Amino acid sequence: MKNKVQLAIEKYGMIQSGDHIIAALSGGADSVCLLHLLKDLQKEMNFTFSACHVNHQLRGEESERDREFCEKLCAELEISLRVFCVDVRGEGLRTKESEETCARRLRYEAFDRLEGKVATAHTADDSMETTLWNLMRGTALKGLCGIAPTRGKYVRPLIDCTAQEVRTYCQTQHWCYVTDSTNDSDNYTRNRIRHRLVPLLQSENPQIAKTVRRMQEALLTDEKFLESETCRALDSAKLDGGFSCEKLNELPLSLWRRAVAEILKQHEVAVEYARLCAVEKMLSDGRGKLSVDGNRNVSVKNGVLSVNAEEKEGTPFEFPAVIGEWMPVSGTKKVKLTVIDGENVINSKKVNQKVLKKYMDYDKITHGLVIRSRKNGDCVRLASNPMTKSLKKLFNEKKIPLSQRSRLTVLADENGILWVEGFGCDQRCCADENTRRMLTVVFDEKTEDGKK
C-alpha cells in the first residue's frame, strides 16, 4: 500500500520536496490510513506535515467523539492538528443549500484558509461514485473523469487505491478508526449510489472501481488536451470587449461548446445546456441578446460575442496608511502594515529568496503612502515577472470576478503602486539582501456573523 501511494504521488506530481502537507482527517478508515502513510513517507519524500479536522456539528455526541479521536491520534503520532467547527445546519437554512452541499462547501472553505497543500483521503471508489453521480445528473466529458488526483492546492494520494484495499490495510496494521453512522443512511445521494448502484455493478464486475479508474485516467488525458485546445482557441478569438464570432464559428462543435462554456464561467455565469443552445443560435443568426442571472447579458452584435456584467464594483476607497494600526478597507476587512527591523530582519532573511520577495523594503518607499482600491490605468511590475502589466490584465489572467476586484487592496506611494493584494510587490520596492527594514501587510477579515 505504501509503495502504491508513493507511486501515485510521484505519477501525478502531488508532492515536491519542501512542501507542507496538511492531511484532512475525519477519523474514518480512509483518512486514518492517509495520515499514517503520509507520516511514514514524510522523511523519505522530504516534506513537512500536519493535519486538520472539520467538525460539522451534525451528529451531536458522535461529532465530538470524532474530534476527540482525531486529537488523541495526532497527539500519539506527534502530529500538529488544527480543528475547525462549522455550523452546517445554520448556514444551510440561510443559503437554502442541501446539508450535503453545505457541509462540503464549509469544509473546503476551512481548507482554503490553510497554508500548504491539503491531502484528502478520496479513493478510487469515491471517484467512481462521483462519475456515477455526474452521469445521473447529466454531464460532459469532464464529469466522467471523476475526482482529479490534483486540483490547485488539493492532492489525493489514495486515488488509485480501492476502499477495500484501504480497510484491509488498516486491519493488517491494527490502525483504529471511527465510523460515521450517517454512512449507513440512504438520505444522501452518494450513500444511495454506494449502497444500491455500486453493489449491482460489482456483481457484474468485482473490480469495477479499478476498471472505472482506468477509464477515468484515459478520459482525463483527452480532457486535458481539449482544455488546452480551448484555451488556444479563446486566445485566438479574443477581442477588446469580447470574442470574435467568426473565430468561434470556425471551431469544431466540441471545442465551440467548451469555448462558450469557458467564456460564461469567466463571467460567473452558470453553464447550462439550454443556455449553450441559446448562444449557439445567436452565433448562427449573427445577433441576439440573452439575459442571464438577472444582472447581465450575453450578446452577439457586430461580430462580437460579449458578456456584459451589470454589477457595480463598489465604492472606491483611499486613505493615508498608518504603520502599526488596523485600518478598515472594504466590507469587514481590515489591514495592518508592520515594519520589521533589527534582529527580526536577519531572521527573516534566513528564508529562501522566493519568500523574501514577498516583503517590501521600507527604505525604498517614498512619501505619500496610501491604501486604496484599484484605479484605471494602474500598472505594476511584479517581482515574479519582468514585464509591466496593467492590473486589469492581471485580474483577467487570474480570472478574478468583477465583483471582487474593487475589494482588493493596493498599497501605493507618490511614485505608483508598491503592492497588490494577491499578487505581491512591485520590483522597485522588493526586499533583498541589503534590506534593513521590511514592510509587511497583514489582513483580518470577518464574516457577517463576526467570525473569522
End position of a domain, from candidates 289, 309, 329 = 309
Q: Residues 40, 174: one domain?
A: yes
Residue 220 inside a domain? The answer is no
Residue 222 inside a domain? The answer is no
Above 60 in pLDDT, residue 447?
no
Q: What angle do CA 449, 451, 452 make, to 5 degrees?
A: 140
The whole-angstrom separation of Cα 252 and Cα 277 is 15
Q: What is the structure's pLDDT at 249?
A: 92
436 — pLDDT class (breaks 50, 70, 90): confident
Above 70 in pLDDT, residue 138?
yes
Q: Residues 41, 187: one domain?
A: yes
Percent of the chain with pLDDT over 90: 58
8 A C-beta contact, residue 444 and residue 452: yes
Q: Mean of the pLDDT values across residues 50-76? A: 94
Q: What is the structure's pLDDT at 128?
A: 97
Q: Residues 277, 338: one domain?
A: no
Q: Residues 131, 32: one domain?
A: yes
Q: Looking at 8-17, 49-58, 271-280, which range is the least confident one?
A: 271-280
Q: What is the structure's pLDDT at 354?
A: 47
Q: What is the structure's pLDDT at 358?
A: 64
Q: Residues 269, 354: one domain?
A: no
Above 80 in pLDDT, residue 355?
no
Residue 393 inside a domain? The answer is yes
Residue, of 211 and 265, whose pLDDT is higher: 211
Q: Residues 180, 244: one domain?
A: no
Q: State which residues form the domain around 369.
A: 318-445
Question: pLDDT averaged over the chain?
Answer: 88
Q: Residues 428, 353: one domain?
A: yes
Q: Looking at 60-64, 79-83, 262-266, 347-351, which range is the least confident one?
A: 347-351
End position of a domain, from candidates 309, 326, 345 = 309
Dump pLDDT digits (tens) for 271-303. Answer: 888 888 888 899 988 998 888 866 778 899 899
Residue 216 inside a domain? The answer is no
Q: Residues 175, 277: one domain?
A: no
Q: In what order do the strands lie in the sheet with 333-341?
A: 327-328, 333-341, 437-445, 360-361
Above 80 in pLDDT, residue 385?
no
